[in-house]
Amino acid sequence: MTFNKMSGRLPATITSVMSMLFISSAQADYALNMTQGVTPISREIFSLHMIVFWICVAIGVVVFLTMAWSILHHRKSKGAVAANFHESTTVEIVWTVVPLLILIAIAIPATGTLLDLEDAETDAEVTVQVTGIQWKWKYNYVDEGVEFISSLAQSSRDVIKDPTGNENYLLEVDEPIVLPINKKIRFLFTSDDVIHAWWVPALAVKQDANPGFINDSWAIIEEPGTYRGQCAELCGKDHGFMPIVVEAVTETEYKQWIAAKKSEAAAIAASADKEWAMQDLLAKGEAVYQANCAACHGPTGAGIPGVFPAMTSSPVVTGDVAGHVDIVMNGRSGTAMAAYKGQLSDVDLAAVITFERNSLGNSMGDTVQPSAIKNAR
Amino acid sequence: MTTATTHDDAHDDHGPAKGLMRWVTTTNHKDIGTLYLWLAFIMLLTGGSMAMVIRAELFQPGLQFVKPEFFNQMTTMHGLIMVFGAIMPAFVGLANWLIPMQIGAPDMALPRMNNWSFWILPFAFTMLASTLLMEGGAPAFGWTFYAPLSTTFAPDSTDYFIFAVHLMGISSVMGAINVIATILNMRAPGMTLMKMPLFVWTWLITAYLLIAVMPVLAGAVTMMLTDRHFDTSFFDAAGGGDPVMFQHIFWFFGHPEVYIMILPAFGIISAIVPTFARKPLFGYSSMVYASASIAILSFMVWAHHMFTTGMPVAGELYFMYATILISVPTGVKVFNWVSTMWKGSMTFETPMLWALGFIVMFTIGGFSGLMLGVAPVDTQYHDTYFVVAHFHYVLVTGALYSIIAAFYYWVPKWTGNMYSETHGKIHFWWSTISVNVLFFPQHFVGLAGMPRRIPDYSLQFAEFNAISSIGGFAFGLAQVYFLYIIIKTIKGGEKATDKVWEGATGLEFEALPSPAPYHSFDTAPEIK
């Protein structure tokens, strides 16, 4: 009677406990496992991960249960008397050969997956060159001539002291990379400075971006959506602040986006030919400075003593305009100062140089026009 | 004639010199062992404090305590200090104390060099630590110091780091030469190689690894130095070099290095388990062969740290196969320890608890190591907290646990005093619970996508990081408690018997009193 009642209740109890767990996990994120991802490779990797995991669990159960049994039963306090065996060639051979067979069983599917993973070239339909730059990503759609830089969104920078409730904190960018679904996308990776690594877990793509070399990887994204990732190789101060956002869209939407990007680029190029007023340059320059220069030279131009020079009263910034333009455009070899002519437009360069000369504690009073930058290229 | 005899008698009995100079000028293996162990403990607390800074910053999302550049300095210095300052010197300290006593030798073969190889270290670590106070800060490129972050993009203090690494390397190589010379030349008559305790065996193999790879590390930092100051381009593609070559050179040192930090641990566990199981070690000779196999394989697997660097697929396949192969001899060791326990008559004094903790948790670290070795899956694991969890399971609950086990096991022999069993057990359970709260959740955040070496993270990782930090603070505190236990044991306690443990075997327990005299085995013991 009582037993019946209990057994009737038990499933309900389990369900309520489970649902409580579920609710609490909906409030707090206790994700335990790797994502399966949205590409054929990511699913292959996931299943391989689970196979190896369960093999480890099985071996662990056998070893730890044997230990536990021994600890419980072969103890002096229970009157156990020590046996004296201490050698057995047969046993040694068995526990060398059996693990070897298990390893072969792991190695076979692993080899297949690895060969798939490394075949980026065959039938690639879209090629994107990804360049790691301290601390942002540059994307170049090689076949389309579309190029832009993607860096951490201001919405994350603003709440760095207390990000509570900020959805996608540190995983949001100003300009996501847009990719078509169901196409084989080949990524080419390189870097302008130190080694970075481009990692989007849902795509199972993690590849180092090495300065002076090109690596590749690939993905076929099967579901539209937003997929987020981060730099995975320590690349200096703001390594934790260079996220990746991939927007996977249908082919039509992708084509529209490419077209929009092209006309946007044309408009920017056209604006370089007009004469800019100082206050317009300053306003634009401040935004460019905060996005590109502040990470090292500081939001107020103070720099970091001994590592990154200050902007305020800097001999370069308060010196000859041509010298200043040269350093910003071409960088300074042997230091962390990058060449920005490949990263910024004529307008952006003119604006940021003007801003540096007339703000951050400097007041040189001169402006640099986009046309001057264009000539200096 | 009589004068000579009197003199000899006096020599046999004389103890250590008095005062501070005893420690500066000592050539006694026990004194030098003690110095190494204290240095290692100070470094453990120093590196541990840095880990506390890291865990405090990671306690919740957002930047609360430190700036990203300082965070990177902390992770870098934490790694360097724990590897080169805590784990390695602790094992050298144990080697100094134990090898002469275990092989029936009066001292190390090269006592003056022994003094020198220790006394280099405090200077090396002072120099390394002083970079924290320099303009531009300490090295912030991780303990693996990948170029070009450590060359073109590094702070000026990197040159001090390079010099400090050179000093540590010199010290390690001298220590290793001393160990080899002692083991090969100073064994008591009858102490054949295959009669040596496993701790001696594993250290002999470790010493060869050290001599083979420390010069490689010295080469790597020297190339960094010339890249930084003398316009060479070893690691700079613009001058014809290759930043990935740095990683090949580093890991050619770095992978044997991880076995340098675990082989002596295998020796310690192989001493403790038979003592408390009251049963001889199962498969002694297979343990020796397994250690040698691990050492040889360790030279052939380095690029498994580099599966995402863009290696050719043939290279990745080779390094994957070779890497997972290491789990075979490692598995043999674990199976042998479990078989030693099987049908024993076990008791669970503190050293045994730490040894059992080692076997279980090192095996967990071994499992995640096997998973990491599977190259295609490493795409998702590489440079995440899964890796952090893996190597802390093998280095903290592996190497460090074995060192603590060794302390409890041999301290009665060193000091003549028993430690307090209650304190030892509290220390064990406190550490073991907290270390799992600390590192186990890191597997989860790693799999869920949290990269390592980041000062701040997105909100989805908040809960496990908070749990991990709480575990970290508790584990840190447990090691301060350990300091109290150490001092209390040195100062006094119940007197240890000569044999110390009912099931103890080996010359140090069977042929020497407790505490072991300042000079032991002036005449060689008889080996049965």
> Known catalytic residue: B248?
no
Assigned token pair, B318: 């080779």
Q: For residues A264 and A305, state if they share a domain.
A: no
CB distance B62–A64 less than 8 Å? no
What is the structure's pLDDT at A291? Answer: 83
Q: Which domain holds residue A112?
A: 10-117
Q: Tens digits of per-residue pLDDT, A237-259? A: 999 999 999 999 999 999 999 99
The label of the residue with tokens 């300082």 reads B70
- Span B455-467, pLDDT tens digits: 999 999 999 999 9
- Which one has a higher pLDDT value, A122 or A26? A122
A110 and A163 housed in the same domain: no
What pLDDT does B120 receive? Answer: 97
- Residue A11: exposure state from Cβ atoms within 10 A (0-12, 13-18, ≥19): exposed
Find, in chain B, the residue whose alpha carbon is nearest to that of A165: B459
pLDDT tens-place string over residues B89-111: 999 999 999 999 999 999 999 99
Within 13 Å of residue B510, how many CA atoms lie on the same side as its CB? 13
A254 plus A288 within the same structural domain: no
Domain boundary among A94, A117, A140: A117
Task: Mean pLDDT check: name the lowest of A112-116, A315-319, B343-347.
Answer: A315-319
DSSP-derived secondary structure letter, A229: E
Domain co-membership, A90 together with A134:
no
- What spatial distance separates the first Cα and last Cα of chain A, rounded to whole Å? 91
Q: Tell me if B376 and A334 make a contact (CB, 8 A cut-off).
A: no
Q: Which two tokens stand for residue B308?
A: 């995402």
pLDDT tens for each residue of A284-329: 888 889 888 888 898 888 888 877 889 888 888 888 888 899 999 9
Residue B228 bears catalytic tag? no
- Residue A8, pLDDT > 80, answer no
The pLDDT score that the predictor gives to residue B526 is: 86
Active site residue B270: yes
- Does A264 or B255 have the greater pLDDT score? B255
**Partner residue facing A210 (CB), from B64, B243, B384:** B243
State whether A232 and B384 contact (CB < 8 Å): yes
Say if A14 falls within a structural domain. yes
User: How buried is residue A10: exposed, middle or buried, by Cβ count under 10 Å (0-12/13-18/19+)?
Assistant: exposed
Residues A255, A134 within the same domain: yes
pLDDT tops 90 at residue A7: no
Kindly state the helix (H) or strand (E) to which residue A58 belongs, with its residue range.
helix A40-73
Q: Does residue A265 share a domain with residue A131?
A: yes
> Kind and range of the H or E element at B267?
helix B263-277
Q: Which of A269, A292, A314 is the last residue of a domain?
A: A269
Cβ–Cβ pairs < 8 A, chains A and B = 305
A3 in a structural domain: no
Q: Which residue has the higher pLDDT, B211 or A3?
A: B211
* A147 shares its domain with A261: yes
- Amino acid letter, B22: R
Q: Report how far apart, in Å, the C-alpha atoms of A279 and of each of A40, A272, A276, A355, A361 are.
A: 52, 16, 8, 9, 16
Q: Is the pLDDT of residue A111 over 60?
A: yes
- Selecting among B270, B384, B415, B520, the annotated active-site residue is B270
Chain A CA closest to residue B69:
A237
Tell me if A286 is assigned to some domain: yes
pLDDT: which is higher, A363 or B273: B273
| CATH number of the domain that residue A66 is part of | 1.10.287
How far is CA A313 from its chain centroid? 36
Q: Look at chain A and report how many structural domains it folds into.
A: 3
User: Exposed, middle or buried, B91 (CB in 10 Å: 0-12/13-18/19+)?
Assistant: buried
Q: Look at residue A302 and tell me if it is in a domain.
A: yes
CATH of the domain at A196: 2.60.40.420
| Closest CA of chain A from B29, distance in Å | 33
- Which residues, including other chains, have CB under 8 Å from residue B504's CB and lie 6 or more apart? B275, B510
CA distance B324 to chain A (A): 7
CATH number at residue A331: 1.10.760.10
Residue B1 pLDDT exceeds 80: no
Q: How many residues does chain B have?
A: 528
In angstroms, rounded to a whole number, what is the distance separating the alpha carbons of residues B343 and B353? 18
- The pLDDT-based confidence of A189 (bands split at 50, 70, 90) is very high
Q: Are residues A140 and A262 in the same domain?
A: yes
For residues B434-445, b (16+ Cβ closer than 10 Å) or e, as one string? bbbbbbbbbbbb
**B203 and B267 in contact (C-beta within 8 Å)?**
yes
Which candidate from A33, A74, A162 shows the least CB-CB separation from B341?
Answer: A74
Q: What is the DSSP letter of A152?
A: B
Establish whether B107 is a catalytic residue. yes
CB-based contact B305:B251 (threshold 8 Å): yes
Largest CA distance in chain A: 97
Over residues B483-511, the pLDDT tens digits come to 999 999 999 889 999 999 999 999 999 99
Rounded mean pLDDT of A53-60?
A: 96
* pLDDT digit string, tens, across residues B38-81: 999 999 999 999 999 999 999 999 999 999 999 999 999 999 99
C-beta atoms of A74 and B340 within 8 A: no
Average pLDDT, chain A: 88
Residue B14 pLDDT class (50, 70, 90 cuts): low
Q: How much is the mean pLDDT over chain B?
A: 94
* Window B:275-304, CB contacts with A under 8 Å: 277-286
Q: Does the pLDDT of residue A16 top 60, yes or no?
A: no
Of all residues in chain A, the percent with pLDDT exceeding 90 is 54
Asked whether residue A1 is assigned to any structural domain, the reply reads no
Residues A144 and A66 in one domain: no
pLDDT band at A20; cut points 50, 70, 90: very low
Question: Hey, which residues 194-233 in chain B have their CB within 8 Å of chain A?
Answer: none
Judgement on whether residues A86 and A136 belong to the same structural domain of the protein:
no
CB contact under 8 Å between B464 and A111, yes or no, is no
**What are the chain A neighbours of B371 within 8 Å (beta carbons)?**
49, 52-53, 56
Instruction: Categorize the per-residue pLDDT at A14 as very low, low, confident or very high, splitting at 50, 70 and 90.
Output: low
**ipTM of the complex in this document:** 0.91
Say which residues have a Cβ less than 8 Å from residue B468's Cβ, sequence separation at least 6: B55, B58, B437, B438, B439, B441, B442, B445
So what's the pLDDT on residue B13?
53
In the stretch 304-363 of chain B, residues with CB closer than 8 A to chain A read 308-310, 313, 316-317, 320-321, 324-325, 327-328, 331-332, 334-335, 338-348, 356, 359-360, 363
Residue A2 belongs to a domain? no
Q: Where are the alpha helices (DSSP H) in B310-396?
A: 313-325, 327-341, 350-373, 375-381, 385-394
Confidence grade of residue A45 (pLDDT, cut at 50, 70, 90)? very high
pLDDT surpasses 90 at B173: yes
Q: Which residue has the higher pLDDT, A85 or B124?
A: B124
- A258-262, Cβ contacts within 8 angstroms, sequence gap of 24 or more: A258/A141, A258/A144, A258/A146, A261/A144, A261/A146, A261/A148, A262/A144, A262/A145, A262/A146
Residues A22 and A36 reside in one and the same domain = yes
Of B390, B473, B388, B434, the C-alpha closest to B53 is B473
Q: Which of A28, A213, A239 sits opposite B463 (nearest CB)?
A: A28
Same domain? For A25 and A102 the reply is yes
Which domain-ending residue is among A244, A269, A294?
A269
Interfacial B residues in 125-184 facing A (CB < 8 Å)? 134-137, 140-142, 146, 148-149, 152-153, 155-156
By the 8 A CB rule, do A110 and A48 touch? yes
Contact A95 B64 (CB under 8 A): no
Q: Is residue A4 part of a domain?
A: no
* pLDDT computed for residue B189 by the predictor: 94
The answer for residues whose C-beta is within 8 angstroms of residue A252's C-beta and 6 or more apart is: none
Element (H, E) at A186: strand A184-191
Q: Do B458 and A171 touch (CB under 8 A)?
A: yes
The total number of residues written for chain A in this structure: 377
Question: What's the predicted TM-score (pTM) here?
Answer: 0.91
Preferred mutation among B380, B386, B452 to probe A, highest tally of A CBs within 10 A? B380
A30: confidence class by pLDDT, cuts 50, 70, 90: confident
